Amino acid sequence: MKSFIRFGHPGVVPGLPRSDEVHIWQISLRDGDPEALLIHLTTEEQQRACRLRLDRVRRQFIAARAGLRQILGGYVDRPAAEVSIRTTATGRPELADPVGEGIDFNLTHSESVGLVAVSGSGRVGIDVECVREIAERDNLVRRFFAPAECDRFFGLAIADRQEAFFQAWTRKEAILKAVGRGVQSLDCCEVGFGPGCEASVRRLDDDRAAHLRWQMHVWEPLAGYRAAVVAENG
Rg (CA), the chain: 18
Q: What is the mean pLDDT of residues 151-161?
A: 97
pLDDT of residue 23: 97
pLDDT of residue 121: 93
The pTM score is: 0.95
* Beta strand spans in the chain (E): 3-7, 21-28, 85-87, 93-95, 104-110, 113-119, 124-130, 189-191, 201-204, 214-219, 225-232
Domain of 168 in residue numbering reads as: 127-232
Among the three residues 106, 121, 136, which one is the final residue of a domain in this structure?
121
- Report phi then psi at 86, rounded to 5: -120, 170
pLDDT over 90, % of the chain: 85
Domain with residue 196: its CATH number is 3.90.470.20
Q: What is the pLDDT of residues 191-227, one digit of tens each?
A: 999 999 999 999 999 999 999 999 999 999 999 999 9
pLDDT of residue 13: 82
Pairing relation of β-strands 3-7 and 21-28? parallel
SS3 call for 110: strand
Among the three residues 121, 156, 176, which one is the final residue of a domain in this structure?
121
Burial of 104 (0-12, 13-18, 19+ CB in 10 A): buried
For the cut 80, the answer to whether the pLDDT of residue 11 exceeds it is no
SS3 call for 10: coil
Among the three residues 89, 121, 153, which one is the final residue of a domain in this structure?
121
Q: How confident is the model at residue 139 (pLDDT cuts 50, 70, 90)?
A: very high
Got the DSSP string for 111-134?
A: TTEEEEEEESSS-EEEEEEE----
For the cut 80, the answer to whether the pLDDT of residue 30 exceeds it is yes
Q: What is the pLDDT of residues 162-194, one digit of tens each?
A: 999 999 999 999 999 999 998 888 999 999 999
15 φ/ψ sector (left φ>0, alpha ψ -120 to 50, else beta): left
Q: What is the mean pLDDT of residues 149-153?
A: 98
Domain count, the chain: 2
Calculate the average pLDDT of the chain: 94
Q: How confident is the model at residue 89 (pLDDT cuts 50, 70, 90)?
A: confident
- Report phi then psi at 200, rounded to 5: -160, 165
Same domain for 147 and 97? no
Same domain for 174 and 133? yes
pLDDT of residue 6: 94
Same domain for 163 and 117? no
Q: What is the pLDDT of residues 50-81, one digit of tens each?
A: 999 999 999 999 999 999 999 999 999 999 99
For the cut 80, the answer to whether the pLDDT of residue 160 exceeds it is yes
pLDDT of residue 229: 98
Q: What is the pLDDT of residues 97-129, one digit of tens each?
A: 888 888 899 999 999 999 999 999 999 999 999
